[in-house]
Structure 1
């Protein structure tokens, strides 16, 4: 998988207000204090320390009245955002070599990281009455897997510009599902968008598809607040996720 789709975007202003702790065996950013409702936020390629995602977690904790967990699913590895951007923007062979995305992808494949993600969801299931899963890019496939029929791990999922999603993962969905879809996305292709919109309504679950014209992959986590169109998109995406979880977790 190429992560050229993740190079765009800007860090947001603001300081996260939560704390670092653990969930199962993974380090995690934790924010909020609801003892009955939890949200598992599954990060994108920038990992669990990315300030934007921690700030989003704070918003969800307050506005969706939940305790939000953002675990580290890259085993302590954090990509250099500047190197990622430079490598894909310039195509410089030396920077691409330094980045070594094929090796990174291999270390954090579905097969390797899936069990950790499920273990974290099971840990939440043992403690909370209602659980939501929200995934950005890399976290999209994982959120879909957690929401599969018969798993009984989460009560609702929301994904923004999900990556690595297969049709089988779409077919298996068994909980209320929301997709935040930009117009331009190398991962959530027009064909996959069409498939989701054709198949999910027939699965007997609540479904919401939000479309963001003119925006690109990564907009919901890395949109530029100084660009009016991107700012409107990232705020709309945040509000849509809050609304979805308020509806199905309370």
Structure 2
């Protein structure tokens, strides 16, 4: 899973309003966005969202700003775990191997198990961008979450999609070397084949015109189509969680 747009993008405006929680409290360091004002003592909400980042991880402020916004829109806690061994962009091959999606998925499932047990969330959803979308293929095959949103992920294997067991919404780029229109059509067909069967899950696919890989996480808002795609994908996720999680 690699393309030039995986390591390109623009920093979103704004400053994070949440807090960092240390690995000593959890399984990994994580950013926590809460719908309550920072001055108030935090108490867990009943529902939670876990945001799985692109390869920039928590180094790039975008994931934190988006978590803050999701928290306010949905009125629940939003967690952004650091799934990487290092707080650096994953570009060198040894680091890529230690942080390939299958390994990060194991850390993500451990993290979700921990917060569900510790904070007694009744429902948990997950949204994954780019690398995080590929991680979510595997997380969505577990019973740890109730709903998923996947945005411009890496390529997939049929078995990965067939294993997904929760409602899933896809936000996709018109121009993406990782997942082209032919692959999008095939993925949608795999979910359509489940209709009327015990393993059917609700799903939707949306492709945003004028966008490239990374648009939902690192958009250049100076371009109207990119801005429209970013806002559209964000609202798509909000509405999906309202429909399937709350």
TM-score, scaled relative to structure 2? 0.87
Aligned to 1:156: 147
Aligned to 1:124: 115
Aligned to 1:15: 15
Q: 5+ residue gaps in structure 1? A: 80-98
2: CA distance, partners of 1:116 / 1:100: 20
Match status 1:37 vs 2:47: yes
Task: Please give the per-residue CA displacement for 1:75-112, whole angstroms capped at 9, x wherever unaligned.
Answer: 23212xxxxxxxxxxxxxxxxxxx85322311212343
1: CA distance, partners of 2:102 / 2:204: 28
2: CA distance, partners of 1:100 / 1:201: 36
**Larger helix proportion, structure 1 or 2?**
1
Which among 198, 204, 214 is matched to residue 210 of structure 2?
214
How much is the aligned-residue C-alpha RMSD, in angstroms?
Answer: 1.7
2: CA distance, partners of 1:201 / 1:63: 30
Q: 5+ residue gaps in structure 2? A: 36-43, 195-199
Residue 141 of structure 1 contacts residue 169 of structure 1 at CA under 8 Å; is this kept in 2? no
Count the aligned residue pairs: 229
2: CA distance, partners of 1:111 / 1:205: 23
Which among 78, 84, 95 is matched to residue 68 of structure 1?
78
SS in structure 1 of the partner of residue 230 of structure 2: helix
2: CA distance, partners of 1:162 / 1:183: 13
Aligned to 2:165: 174
Match status 1:248 vs 2:239: no
SS in structure 2 of the partner of residue 247 of structure 1: helix
- Cα displacement (A) at 1:161: 0.2
Aligned to 1:239: 235
Aligned to 1:134: 127
Residue correspondence of structure 1 range 172-211 to structure 2 within 5 A: 172-203=163-194, 204-211=200-207
TM-score, scaled relative to structure 1? 0.86
Aligned to 1:26: 28
Task: Please give the per-residue CA displacement for 1:25-44, whole angstroms capped at 9, x wherever unaligned.
Answer: 20001001552111111110
